[in-house]
Amino acid sequence: MTRPLNGAEQINWDLSDLYSSSDDLNLQKDKTSVLQQADAFSEKYKGRIADLSAAELKTLLEKYEVIQDTGGKISSFAYLQWSTDTGNAEYGKLVQESNELSSELSQKLVFFDVEWLKVNSKKAEALINDPELSFYKHYLDSSRRYKKHVLEESQEQIMSAKAVTGRSAWVRYFDETLGAAEFKIDGESFTEQEALSKLHEGDRTLRKKAHEALTNTFQDLSRTLTFIFNTVLADKSTNDRFRNYKNWVSSRNLANQTDDDTVEALVSAVTSSYDLVQRYYKLKADLLGLKEMKDYDRYAPIIQNEETITWDEAKEMVLDAYTSFHPRMGEITKKFFDENWIDAAIKPGKRGGAYSASTVPSVHPYVFMNFDGKIRDVQTLAHELGHGVHQYLSRQQGPLQAGTPLTTAETASVFGEMLVFQKLLKEIDNPKERLALITGKIDDTIATVFRQISMNRFEDAMHTARREEGELTTERFSQLWMKQQEKLYGDSVTLTEEYGIWWSYIPHFLHTPGYVYAYAFGELLVMALYEEFTQRPDGFADKYMELLSAGGSKWPHELVAKMGLDITNPEFWNKGLNSLEKMIEEAEQLSKQI
C-alpha cells in the first residue's frame, strides 16, 4: 500500500530569505536588536501618545512597523521550520524561544495600544482623518473598535506573559501529538495526512480501513486531546471575561471586521439549506451504487481508480488557470515554484493540512501542503497559492495593514480553486468525466460551506457547554459533535458510532477559535464573485487584483462593494447557495445521461 511517487517528494522550501538555520548569526542579531528597538521605542513614546501631532504619530507608526516586521520574521521562520518536522527538538526549542520573544515584545509595546485607545474621540478622529496619516487611516480607525476590550498596560503585560505557558503551549502540544501519531493500515504506519487521504480512494474497503485506523488513534489519544481542548476552551473563557466580550465568538467577529448580525445571517442561510447536502448525498449514493452511504463514503470519487497527478502536472494546471485570468497573477505564482517557496513533500513528523504563511512584508509568503497526487491536491495547491498571491500583493500595505480579516482572507484562495475548476471543466466533453469533476467540486463546496458551518455550530455548543457545565468529558464532546453532524446529513449519510471522536483532530478549533465560518464566508462570496465575472468580465480581473493589493487597508464591505456586491445584505448569501444548487441540478441531469 506504499504511496506512489508523484514528483513532490523533493519539493521542500528554501527558508533562507528569512534565515538559513536556527544558528544563523542574523537571527541571533535580530533577536537582540529587536528588543533594543522596542526599548528605545518605549523610552521615546511611552506616556506621550495623546500629545503627538499627526507627523509625530506617523513617525511612531513607521518605527513600530520596523519592530513588528523583525519580530514577525523571527516567529515566521521558527514556525515554518518546525511545521515540517514537529518532532525535532531544535526546531521546537526555537518555536518556544520565538513565542517568548514575541511575548516580551508585546509587553514592551502594549503601552501604545493602551494609550492610543485612551485618546479622546475628538482628538483621535482628527488624527485619523489628517492627510499626514492617510496611509494608516484604516489601521488607526479599525483599532479603535477595541476600546472596550483592552485592559490596563500592566494587565496586558501579564496576559501576554502567561499566554506563552498557557494557550500557545497547549496548541503546540496538540500539533506535536498529532504530528508524531501513527495510523496503522494493514500493519503499515501512515501519517495523519496520508490516512485522511485514503478516505478519497475509490476502494471502499480501503476507505473503511483508513476510517478505522484514524478512529483507533484518535481514541488512543482521546484523553490527551480532551484535556487539551478543555484547557484551551477554559483559557478563552477567562480571557473573554476579562476583556468584556459578550460571547465566545465576539472577539473573532471583531477581528474579522464584521458584526454578529452578518455572521448570524450567514449561519442561518447555510443551516436552513442543509436539505441541499442531503439531496446531493442521496444522488451520490446512487451513483456509487451504495444502498447505505457511511461517513467514510462521503469523499469517494465517482470514477474509480483515480490516476496519480504528478507535481509538474499540478503546477501547470494552476499556472495555466492563473495566467489565463491575469498575467500578473501568473507571474507571481511562478515565483513560488521557481524560487522554492513551497513545501509539498509528505514526510514523518510534518504537521498535517495546508496553509500559506504571509510571513512579513519585507520578505514574501511561503506555501505549506502535503501533496499526495490527487485532484483535490491540485485544488489545495490552487487554494494556498491564491492566498500566496494575495499576501504577496498586499505586502505594499506594510506590517500593520497587509493582513486581511479572515472573512476576506479566504476570497483569493477559493477564487483560485474556482479558476482551476472552471478551466478543467471547459476541457471535458465526456459526460461521465464531467460528472466526476462536478461531483468533486460539490464535495469540496459542501466541505467548505456546510461542513464548516456545522463545525461552527459544534464550536458554539462546546464553548457554551464548557462555560456552563465546567470540564467536559470525551463523551460529552462527542455528543455535541454528533448532534450537529446529524442535523447536517439527516438520513442521507449513516454516521458510524466511531465518527463521534472525529472532532478531536481538527486544529482550527484550537489554533484560531471561531475561524471555520470564514471558509463558508469566502466560498459563498467567491461563488457570487465568479457569477459577476461571467456576467460582466470586462475589467473584472484588474479590479480583482486591486482588491488583493489593498490587503487590510479598507473595510471588507468597502472592498467587496467595488466588485459590485453587498455582503451586508442578509440575502447576499443566497447567491452562492443558488450557484451550488445549480451544480447539483447539473449533476442530476448528467447522472441521467450516463
Q: What is the pLDDT of residues 490-500, one digit of tens each?
A: 999 999 999 99
The mean per-residue pLDDT over the stretch 480-485 comes to 98
pLDDT at 306 over 80: no
Give the model's confidence band at 1: pLDDT under 50 very low, under 70 low, under 90 confident, else very high: low
Span 181-203, mean pLDDT? 93
- Interval 231-244: pLDDT, tens: 999 999 999 999 99
User: 205 or 437, which is more confident?
Assistant: 205
User: Is the pTM of the predicted complex or chain greater than 0.75?
Assistant: yes
Is residue 308 predicted with pLDDT exceeding 90?
A: no
Averaged pLDDT of the chain = 94
Q: What is the mean pLDDT of residues 316-343?
A: 97
> Residue 305 pLDDT more than 60?
no
Q: Which cell numbers in the block locate residue 547?
A: 482588491
Most confident of 131-140, 435-444, 517-526: 131-140
How large is the greatest C-alpha to C-alpha distance in the chain, in angstroms? Answer: 75
- For 368-402, the pLDDT digits (tens) are 999 988 888 999 999 999 999 999 999 999 999 99
Which domains does the chain possess? 15-165 (1.20.140.70)
pLDDT tier, 228 (very low <50, low <70, confident <90, very high otherwise): very high
What's the pLDDT score for residue 2? 58
Q: With 70 as the cut, is the pLDDT of residue 136 above it? A: yes
Which residues does 218 contact at the CB level (< 8 Å), separation at least 6?
A: 225, 501, 502, 504, 505
Alpha-carbon span 307 to 162, nearest angstrom: 50
Question: Roughly what angle, to the nearest 10 degrees, separates helices 311-325 and 406-426?
Answer: 100
